[in-house]
Amino acid sequence: MTPPPPETVSRARCRNHADREAVARCPECGHTFCRECIVEHEGRMICKECLEKLLAQKPDRRGRMYLRRAALWGLSLISFLLTWSFFLLLGRLMILLQDLRRGLAG
Ligand SMILES: [Zn+2]
Ligand SMILES: [Zn+2]
């Protein structure tokens, strides 16, 4: 009885299907997978398991929208404050100019 050849001799097989030949290696987990178990995601081949993990890690759209809205609110608040301080300064400048003019007039 001869033992089965070691893995180095046999061709790469799918991690999930021992009888299928692997077509790609997942860059995330390093395992080889068959055509059925690997999918394309953002231009690279990745196994379904890792894709699910990746998608789970990403914040969902609602969270992103909330963040975006918060940033928008922050920006509008800052611009409001800037405008307000600008007009405050302008008003002071007008008063200053009036005082100056009055001073010059007499
Ligand atoms: Zn993977
Ligand atoms: Zn497979």
Task: Note the ligand closest to the C-alpha atom of 48.
Answer: 1
Q: What is the mean pLDDT of residues 12-41?
A: 94
Distance 52 CA to ligand 1 centre (A): 9
Quote the ligand 2 centre to 13 CA distance (angstroms).
8
* Under 8 Å between Cβ of 33 and 23: yes
CA distance 8 to 2: 16
| pTM reported for the whole predicted model | 0.46
Structural contact between residues 22 and 34, judged by C-beta atoms closer than 8 angstroms: yes
For residue 35, the ligand closest to its alpha carbon is 2
CB atoms within 10 A of CB 11: 8
Ligand nearest to the CA of 15: 2
* Ligand (nearest to CA of 22): 2
Q: What is the pLDDT of residues 46-103, one digit of tens each?
A: 999 999 998 888 766 667 788 889 999 999 999 999 999 999 999 999 999 999 988 8
CA of 104 to the centre of ligand 2 (A): 91
